[in-house]
Amino acid sequence: MPEVSFSNTSGGSPKGEHNPIARALGYIRPPASPMKNSHWTKGPGHTPIRAGEDQEAVETEAAAAATRKYVFAHFMVGNTYPYKQADWLADIKLAASQDIDGFVLNFGREDWQRDRVKDCMTIAKTLPDSIPFKFFFSFDMSSIPGNTEADVQLFRNYMEPHWKNPRMFRHPRNNRVVFSTFAGENCTFGQGSTEYGWAYLKHELQRICGMTHFVPSFFINPTRYREICAMDGAFNWNGGWPLHLSASSPREEVVNARLDSDFAYIENLKTEDKTFMAAVSPWFFTHYGPNSWNKNWIYRGDDWLFVRRWEQLVSMRDSIDMVQIISWNDYGECHYIGPIKGAQPNSQAWVDGYPHIAWLHLNRYFMKAFQTGSYPAITKDQIFLWARPHPKGASAADSTPRPDNWELTDDTAWMVVFATADAIVEGYTTEDDKVTFNVKAGMTKLSFPLKPDGGMKATVIRNGVVVTECNPIAYRFESRPGVYNFNACVAMST
């Protein structure tokens, strides 16, 4: 690592590159607005820390955890304005019940967000040993300034009161507190360049909490990672979506969309023994008009995107250190897997009434395979089913037009079946459109076409008996929607 010295100069032009497709980066983020357990058992490697244990105990846990893989969920603090400690506790317990290792707390510049983080970290100290849940911070640099030396103060304000909290996640290789960013590739902190700016920031944090482990999401060419000595790894924020697709893409490419951007990250991190954090996400739709945040597009979430991406990450497990689920509660982009609560960023028109909790339960099966290296046994027949709320070509009296790339999606219901033995699966929108499948024991991905003004339903039948069914009775594939809504309704059998 090159030696770095710091000047007292301020200003200067950042050297960070601008990606020409800022929208594809998801760079413009909305500002903040003022179950039961399933049958899988907890995986190995969970060694809880009691609040107040000394540094030696923390180091012992780090050594024990060094051989396992970790999965965190991206948590938007900006959507928690009305949260109390009880709300934090409920979310933590729900995520932990599904074996998610922790939350990545993403926050912006507003002072009230620091208060919500304080509430979260305070309740975290009270967690029992049975909830082995951790946190690390993600500084949202699309909101937080990073141009002057004074801008480092916000980082101090977060790290100083919390770095000793035993629930803060420390990297198992070096026991250093982990932190991340959304963006920040153009920040200089008054040092004249991205490289010197982030090195200066880490140097300042070292005065507070010792050495840290920095794994940012910088939207730059991965070949630049070796120039930025402050980086201890990288997070490929966009890795879970087929961003390269457009309405003009060949159909064969659309239905077999590649998710291959991880390889450039891995190639440029492996020689430095740095951390690679991959992304997985079930969906993407945002619908803000020009009079708002001017974000109105989809990424193709068809073809069981969530499942296919998890299968890919499991197959690449030896090359990936961590996975971040995008997201727990980002309602504005429709990839939430947690409950709909808190303060939405004016996304109620396309979020309310469209729960995604079933994805949280589906996530567990694949996540456990990544964490432990083995898929869990399937001991319960179960159906997971999701679909959009109206035909893609339907017209709506909506002041905001159809989202860009609306042509990419299909009018299809997507289904995943867990079967304990061979069975027959039926899927349909009406009794006249029933589709029948023969499935083997295990996990099977299925789909069937949607019919305007119909619903969606699926059953698993064995020996002539319905053993489970999924029938979201409130769902209707509306032929005449009131607004353009390319979100998903996600359901599961009980």
What is the tens place of the pLDDT at every residue in 329-340?
999 999 999 999
Percent of the chain residues topping a pLDDT of 90: 84
Q: Is residue 314 part of a domain?
A: yes
Q: Is residue 410 part of a domain?
A: yes
Q: Is residue 137 part of a domain?
A: yes
Domain end marker among 359, 376, 393: 376
Q: Is residue 251 part of a domain?
A: yes
Residue 339 sits in a domain of what CATH number? 3.20.20.80
Cα 114 to Cα 455: distance, rounded to the nearest angstrom: 43
Let me know whether 84 and 170 are in one domain.
Answer: yes
The average confidence (pLDDT) of the chain is 89
Evaluate if residue 14 carries a pLDDT over 60.
no
Q: Look at residues 95, 154, 158 and name the one whose alpha carbon lies nearest to residue 121.
A: 158
Let me know whether 230 and 278 are in one domain.
Answer: yes
Let me know whether 245 and 332 are in one domain.
Answer: yes
What is the tens place of the pLDDT at every residue in 276-312?
999 999 999 999 999 999 999 999 999 999 999 999 9
What is the SS3 assignment for 177?
strand
Q: By the 8 A CB rule, do 231 and 276 touch?
A: no
Check residue 190 and give left, alpha or beta (phi > 0: left; psi -120 to 50: alpha).
left
Distant-in-sequence contacts of 62-67, Cβ < 8 A, 24+ apart: 62/170, 62/171, 62/172, 62/175, 63/172, 65/172, 66/172, 66/173
Let me know whether 86 and 200 are in one domain.
Answer: yes
Domain end marker among 345, 360, 376: 376
Let me know whether 387 and 357 are in one domain.
Answer: no
Q: Is residue 7 part of a domain?
A: no
Q: Is residue 372 part of a domain?
A: yes
Domain coverage including residue 343:
55-376
Evaluate if residue 418 carries a pLDDT over 70.
yes
Let me know whether 355 and 394 are in one domain.
Answer: no
Query: Which residue in this structure is represented by tokens 């069914």?
Result: 469
481-489: average pLDDT? 98
343-352: average pLDDT? 98
Give the pair of three-digit tokens for residue 240: 């879970």
Let me know whether 397 and 364 are in one domain.
Answer: no
Let me know whether 355 and 390 are in one domain.
Answer: no
Q: Is residue 228 part of a domain?
A: yes
What is the tens place of the pLDDT at every residue in 143-199?
999 999 999 999 999 999 999 999 999 999 999 999 999 999 999 999 999 999 999
Q: By the 8 A CB rule, do 278 and 236 touch?
A: yes
Torsion of CA 49, 55, 57, 60, to 10 degrees: 110
Let me know whether 177 and 236 are in one domain.
Answer: yes
Cα 489 to Cα 308: distance, rounded to the nearest angstrom: 19
Task: For residue 143, give every residue at least 6 positions away whose Cβ sits within 8 Å of its Cβ, in sequence order, or none.
Answer: 29, 31, 108, 109, 110
Count of structural domains within the chain: 2
pLDDT band (50, 70, 90) for residue 59: low
Task: Give the residues across from 381 on adjacent strands.
Answer: none
Give the pair of three-digit tokens for residue 484: 């353009």
Let me know whether 94 and 209 are in one domain.
Answer: yes
Q: Is residue 476 part of a domain?
A: yes
pLDDT band (50, 70, 90) for residue 68: confident
Domain end marker among 376, 401, 421: 376
How far from chain centre, in Å, is Cα 161?
26
Let me know whether 354 and 390 are in one domain.
Answer: no
Let me know whether 315 and 396 are in one domain.
Answer: no
